[in-house]
Amino acid sequence: MLVVQACDDGYTCPLSIDPALRVAVVDSITQEPSVMMPTVTIGTSTGASVELGASSREPGVFLAYGASGVYSVVVRADGYAQFAKGGIAVSASTGKCGGVNTARLTAKMQKAM
């Protein structure tokens, strides 16, 4: 079932929300989501942070919902070096339904030495 919302100008918008960030966590060698059970933490330019759970639809994919702005991502997993990236810009959508343009990131995890 698809739920939609009609705007005043007659345009129909889906009631789904696009994530601000889509983070895919993969092994740097195999390029596959691994069984590493990573911890993914998203930070904002305001200093807020949240730890994410994995998406149930895609193994190794983490989704963060939020407003436009600048984000940082830190991924930790046992047996792997920490992955960190800052300055990830998420822009507001210019479409009639608003929302954000999802920033996509792949965290290629390297085995710890």
pLDDT at 96: 76
* Each residue's pLDDT tens digit, 11-62: 677 667 889 999 999 999 999 887 678 899 999 888 888 888 777 788 889 9
What CA–CA distance (Å, rounded) separates 45 from 66?
12
pLDDT at 74: 95
What CA–CA distance (Å, rounded) separates 59 from 23?
11
* Each residue's pLDDT tens digit, 68-93: 999 999 999 999 999 999 999 999 98
pLDDT at 58: 83
pTM (two decimals): 0.81
Tokens of 101: 């343009």
What CA–CA distance (Å, rounded) separates 71 from 50?
11
Tokens of 68: 């436009």
